[in-house]
Structure 1
């Protein structure tokens, strides 16, 4: 029987997840299908989850705006999902729904791949933003022993995020001491990068465009940069394993993903 899985979000037409997972499915020789679902609203997403409970889906990756709802609809959740307050992965088995968050794993994988010299343990890192993406980044980085600061235009939102995650709320002055700055905003941040250390690393969680204005500014300063595509692929690997029960084959999925973005390797 063909295993059915996919990614759910709105909008979803530009998602690279089907390309990545389909390449792994083909390389592994699985009888499986992974496609994009674009529920119009919360009710439509709930219907997808009901399909999973009924055995018509094996798993779902979840993106905005359904990540919090995904956690709420689950019967059980990993510590990572509970910490993030959202889930980007649902696995269906015997009528039950298991939620997880692999975003933090993806973030750390991207840093390891593209900034292998970086060691954040006991050092200052700053996360820009206070939404769901920022929460996943703060949770992952705090778990490594980094001293995480949250910088957001609305201080109250930053304080709400930092609570319980071992982070602090900081002002722009904190950037001067950061070894890593992560942009978790969906728009280019309004920060002055001239104050950064010469060995600072910049990461943008967005991958459209691959080299964002934030990363372009960092490269102009000669800084190491980490793109959001590395994180997307990094979070997809544990998702594939959770859904299909095997590790993704060791093939190159970044090159076709870059081609889909109109980028060159």
Structure 2
């Protein structure tokens, strides 16, 4: 008899829209692993800890964790990678042989890999504007700093929050020789960034992001970390500002997912087939 499939799931609220099950099914088919991958949305009165305990107690192998539970996932784990600890959040949990649960965060590495392999952007020496000072920005900052751009400026609607996040990462930025600064959104009008990355949810919807059009001046690429949004006002604004190259975060999703898969199972799947199929699904909606 063949071995029972290993069990995985993505946990979030909401989670119905997630493309992770389809993506990991493609990874498993390619690498020859038998897996089951589901979606878990905890009840309104259930904690992430309770949900995760139940999953692993029932023999689950690994979890992907999305909003709003990434900080709780890190707290739940018995051990964690340095980047997850720096970010203060984990997006991947794994059952270990000793009965414990380990954590890592593949979001930042997924973003950097997508920029490099799919969009031809090597961050070394570039100037980057990162919009947002919440958990999404914190999750990718360690990997962005490791890629050694010349400078990263964190911009946020509330400048004090951006300054707080920059302060958290000041030592890590210095370790990698990166100039790390912060400002309010209105101060981005000076422009001069090679890459503008939106890590906020404000880039979607009619209200949009209160970003001066001049912030895009000189940008080679505008990148929205979100995906599957019919009204991406951030990318629309970038287009109006004359940025020729614009993309959403589907590639980041696929690359971070592949890294999670490799963390769980020790096999790194090819990502382009999954990206192409998911891209076609989104564009056909």
TM-score calculated relative to the size of structure 1: 0.90
**Structure 2 equivalent of residue 178 of structure 1:** 193
Pair 1:74-2:63 in alignment? no
Aligned to 2:88: 85
SS in 2 for 1:104: helix
Offset of residue 44 of structure 1: 4.4
Q: 1:210 to 1:19 in 2, by over 3 A?
A: farther
Question: Compared with structure 1, are the counterparts of its residues 148 and 15 closer, same or farther at alpha carbon in structure 2 (3 Å cutoff)?
Answer: same
1:243 is displaced (CA, Å) by 1.5
SS at match of 2:168: coil
- Deviations 1:166-191 (Å, cap 9, x if unpaired)? 33212444451111111011122221
Number of equivalent positions: 263
Tell which deviates more after alignment, 220-229 or 234-243: 220-229
User: How much does 1:120 deviate?
Assistant: 3.0
Question: How far apart, CA to CA, are the structure 2 residues paired with 1:84 and 1:41?
Answer: 26
Instruction: Tell me which of 101, 106, 115 is aligned to 2:105.
Output: 101
Confirm or deny that 1:133 pairs with 2:154: no
| Matching residue of 2:278 | 257
* Separation in structure 2 between the aligned mates of residue 223 and residue 136 of structure 1, nearest angstrom: 27
Gaps of 5+ in 1: none
Moved more, 183-192 or 100-109: 183-192
CA distance in 1, matches of 2:232, 2:30: 31
* 1:111 match: 115
RMSD (CA atoms): 2.2
**Which residue in the other structure is 2:175 paired with?**
none
**Are 1:153 and 2:168 matched, yes or no?**
no
Distance in 1, matches of 2:158 and 2:218, equals: 28
Q: Is residue 21 of structure 1 aligned with residue 21 of structure 2?
A: no
Does the C-alpha gap of structure 1 residues 145 and 250 become closer, same or farther in structure 2, counting only changes over 3 Å? closer
- Say whether the 8 Å CA contact 2:116–2:122 is kept in structure 1: no
* Unaligned runs of at least 5 residues, structure 2: 171-179, 204-208
Which sits farther off after the overlay, 247-256 or 27-36? 247-256
Conserved 8 A contact 1:53-1:93:
no
Deviations 1:20-73 (A, max 9, x none): 001111233322111111112474422332235436110000001110000001
